[in-house]
Structure 1
Amino acid sequence: MYKLMLCLRYLRTRYIALASIISVTLGVATMVVVNSVMSGFSHEMHVRLHGILSDIVMESHSLDGFYHGEAHMEAVRRVAGDDIESIATTVHVPGMLGIYYRNEWHPRQVTIIGIDDKTYNSVSDFSKYLKHPSNRQQVDFNLKEAGYDGPAGSPLVESGWNYRRGKIAYQKALEEEMQRFEILHQTGHMPADPSRIAATPSPLKDTAEEPVVPKFSDDPEAPPLPGPPPQELAERMAQNEPAPTGAAETEGDPFNQRHRYAEMDTTFDPMKHQSPGIILGMAVASIRQRNAEGEVKDYFLAVPGDDVRLTFPSAESPPQAVSETFTVVDFYESKMNEYDAGFAFVPLSKLQSLRYMTHPELGSAISTIQIRLKPGADLAAVTNRLREAFPPQQFPFRIQSWKDMQGPLLAAVQMEKTILNILLFLIIGVAGFGILATFYMIVVEKTKDIGILKSLGASGGGIMSIFLGYGLSLGIVGSGVGCILGLLFVWNINHIAKLIELITGREVFDPTIYYFQEIPTIVEPMAIVMVVTGAMLIAVLASVLPAIRAARLHPVEALRYE
């Protein structure tokens, strides 16, 4: 009982112990904060890296890809069928994206990924990062009317079919006005006041002897293009009814107006039709920077509804440059700048067709086979089994897990976390040396007390336990308070960051660099337990040598000069 009483007395009355407690507290709190923030960043990186990559990727050795994809997938199922949840194929090819903005082309280097919108989401979390709610449910490459989300969840007002129709109408009106201006200039009807151009009647209406009627063919005997169809014919066309065949019904329709209007409907009209769809990484089509007020803003070069131009190599030998116009139908925002600024997704069949990757006998070539494993499957074991069954010397692809593909980046993050833990643990080590020095001073100062205790019958082990208990109590109090302070700091870290910004006038967490709106944190209970246990262990170890010295004191020597 006397041991506990002396420990508590020393803890309450020795102000020098307060310095040791503060050292342990600061060390533990710092380690809790750093571990939580690093775990948050690491988790976000893992989620975003894995969001576009399936568990295992079988990647072609060349840009031309490889054939017999179905046969290879069947062979994969035979090797690892019990661990496989789903399989999908893709085509990867480097390309150049051209965005026409403010009367000039803005080139962007991208990786074009051809995906099957029905199966690709089963092997990755791709749809989670799309900006239209319906695409997050089921991906497709059709432009939506509206409802796209912008950065940070704010609505993207100018986007979709509403934006596209308005833009096309404006462009047509502008072109007509420019043509009219040119005609006025050529005919000498240019008004003195250019603002009166819109009010000036068109000279075409005055000079044309009769209207030019377009025809379906160059045959001079061919009848002119008829006017709008009668109401009953329009209704039959909408209901997909057959064209009239009776003499009375075909009167006035000798050339099958229904067929002509069907041909007219197939004509590409940007007000009604879109080019093949493309999903762009958010940072491909936008620029994030601060405005004059210091606010972070995204400036878009293209939005859903705009057309862009893709240029990429064909699968021929030698490869030829292929260009095609695509319509932006959605954005992909994983907040991983490497992906958001470098990926463009297009329909798989369209990309295979444009690159001439379809063979009449071999079928369509692919670049990768993406494999998602069932929950709980051993990623490394399945990867090794597939590598053993499909050696790269015999098969036209190599097999990697998603961790292998991002190995250097993940290893760098883990190494940074380990080094920081080691360096910060030295803070607690310094506190341990402070406890060691403090206890030596206490042993010297309390030599007479130790002698009296021993003369009254206290054993060496009892004296030693007093100082070990004292060190343990310092560790418990210091690590406990430090743990609580660290957790409070982590839970309020974003508010604290804003407070520091107000005080210093500088941004602590720049969203233009990290693409995060808030500092990510994850509290790992096991890491907290390890930090607290380590701090208490250091405090106890620091008290061992002074306790041994106190236990070895002889009562006669301790009381000789008293």
Structure 2
Amino acid sequence: MFRPLAIFIGSRYTRAKRRNHFISFISLTSMIGLALGVLAMIVVLSVMNGFQHEMSERILGMVPHATVGATQPLDDWRPVAEAAMKNPEVQAAVPFTQLDGMLSFKGAMQPIQVSGVDPAQEGKVSIVASHIKAGDLQALKPGEFGVVIGEITARRFRLAPGDKVTLIVPEVSTAPGGITPRLQRLTVVGIFKVGAELDSSLALINVQDAAELQHWQPTQVQSVRLKVRDLWLAPQVASDIAQGLGPQYRADDWTHTQGSLFSAMKMEKTMIGLLLLMIVAVAAFNIIATLVMVVNDKGTDIAILRTLGATPGQILGIFVVQGSLIGIAGTVAGGVLGVIAALNVSRIVGWMERVSGQHIFTSDVYFISNLPSQLQWGDVAMICCAGLVMSFLATLYPAWRAAQVQPAQALRYE
């Protein structure tokens, strides 16, 4: 079978057992280092994807994807919900009221964001019902001023269902200063835990109780909460719905409240990816040292090939092929092992916990009890391409040096 000279000799040099075992050792370490760098990048980026997915599922499963309201409380939220449901991106629309205040218990206080919800419809837009650890979301009866709080808040105040807490809400008044606090006793009817900061900053009450705290009519709400199919389209979807309803309507979405968190997570993934890419670069550029030593070791062979008619381009191609084969082998091995490790990282961590007898991730310390991993083939392709490109670039200088070897000088002392 016909094969170009560069591929034929380059592949033989890669497979050959050299007299200089140190060169073989350097070639092997370059290949192993490249494989480990690619493996580490795939596993770490998959774990970061898993964390991002886990946090988005928990946080964005609790906070509104988008809301549509007016400058004044909505007397009837259903026409707004019906208009929103006409948009194909909207999956659900429910009444919603939000207010800020302070939660007080036996002299201890903490800021809290209170969401007024309809417990019968909250499951359409929120995951809170599936994360209730004590009590029941359906116990939020109108007029009874029940409250569902987060697990961190309950632990901080040592609260349990049936305990009484005080909600302090600022209220506009004619008194000097313009604002007076309004106090309302609430009964804890449930405790939720989603494993995020919301466990310490969010509380739920009935939407009619929220209206009474605001001195509104029982049927009035602040806005309509939307659940959309594509989270990244939420700003545009909410804006389109508000514009269609009229100039007095306004839209809000999750990017205003949680956007900084996810931007920080995205930047963190980018920076860690770049740092790990440096590991791959170091391993790839070890190929330079390998090929420089190979060129010095094969000086006589290069001179003989030149005297037999090989062109400088063919000599250059020989060492480009040799270095590229080392890079391909390391990248492929690292890619395969990285994919296997990323798909089984939770099992590997679980095995390590069983062997060591120690819990690496405990729900008491971390928001998660296992190591999430989400393999994205786009990341795998990008990492492998980066490894191959850097391996190829690392071959150019040694190959150019080999192409510059002068036969007469190389054979002078042979």
Alignment CA distance shift 1:376-1:364 (3 Å) = closer
Aligned to 2:208: 349
Matched, 1:127 2:132: no
Q: Is the 8 A contact 1:95 1:310 kept in 2?
A: yes
Q: Is the 8 A contact 2:149 2:202 kept in 1?
A: yes
Residue of 215, 225, 232 corresponding to 1:370: 225
Aligned to 1:309: 166
Alignment CA distance shift 1:95-1:514 (3 Å) = same
Alignment CA distance shift 1:85-1:429 (3 Å) = same
Q: CA deviation at 1:105?
A: 4.5
Matched, 1:283 2:152: yes
Q: CA deviation at 1:558?
A: 3.3
Matched, 1:442 2:294: yes
Aligned to 1:20: 30
SS in 1 for 2:38: helix
Task: Name stretches of at least 5 consecutive residues in structure 1 with no aligned partner.
Answer: 144-273, 288-299
Residue of 55, 64, 85 corresponding to 2:91: 85
Q: CA deviation at 1:321?
A: 3.8
CA distance in 1, matches of 2:209, 2:216: 10
SS in 2 for 1:367: strand
Alignment CA distance shift 1:316-1:364 (3 Å) = farther
CA distance in 2, matches of 1:278, 1:539: 60
Q: What is the 5 A alignment of 1:130-149?
A: 130-131=132-133, 139-141=137-139
Aligned to 2:4: none
Q: Is the 8 A contact 2:90 2:229 kept in 1?
A: yes
SS in 1 for 2:221: coil
CA distance in 1, matches of 2:231, 2:259: 21
Identity %: 26
Which structure: larger Rg? 1
Residue of 33, 37, 41 corresponding to 2:51: 41
* Residue identity matched to 2:123: N
Q: CA deviation at 1:386?
A: 3.9
Q: CA deviation at 1:417?
A: 0.9
Q: CA deviation at 1:400?
A: 2.9
Q: Is the 8 A contact 2:47 2:374 kept in 1?
A: yes
Residue of 340, 356, 365 corresponding to 2:199: 340
Matched, 1:116 2:118: yes
Alignment CA distance shift 1:75-1:520 (3 Å) = closer
What are the Cα deviations for residues 341-389 of structure 1, in whole angstroms up to 9, with x where unaligned?
011111111221243111xxxx744233211224699435424434655
Aligned to 2:341: 488
Alignment CA distance shift 1:355-1:11 (3 Å) = farther
SS in 1 for 2:152: coil
Residue of 13, 16, 24 corresponding to 1:6: 13
Q: Is the 8 A contact 1:141 1:347 kept in 2?
A: no
What are the Cα deviations for residues 145-202 of structure 1, in whole angstroms up to 9, with x where unaligned?
xxxxxxxxxxxxxxxxxxxxxxxxxxxxxxxxxxxxxxxxxxxxxxxxxxxxxxxxxx
Matched, 1:430 2:282: yes
* Residue identity matched to 1:46: S
Q: CA deviation at 1:88?
A: 1.5
CA distance in 2, matches of 1:113, 1:376: 20
Query: RMSD of the alignment, in Å?
Result: 3.4
SS in 2 for 1:111: strand
Residue of 38, 42, 49 corresponding to 1:32: 42
* Residue identity matched to 1:335: G
Residue of 369, 372, 379 corresponding to 2:234: 379
Of Structure 1 and Structure 2, the greater strand share is in 2
Alignment CA distance shift 1:387-1:459 (3 Å) = farther
Q: Runs of 4 or more off by more than 6 Å in structure 1?
A: 499-502
SS in 1 for 2:189: strand
Q: Is the 8 A contact 1:315 1:357 kept in 2?
A: no
Aligned residues: 397
Q: CA deviation at 1:18?
A: 1.8
Alignment CA distance shift 1:388-1:356 (3 Å) = closer
Alignment CA distance shift 1:435-1:377 (3 Å) = closer
TM-score if structure 2 supplies the norm length?
A: 0.82
CA distance in 1, matches of 2:361, 2:225: 36
Aligned to 2:5: none
What are the Cα deviations for residues 446-494 of structure 1, in whole angstroms up to 9, with x where unaligned?
1101122233344444433322222222222322333455443734552
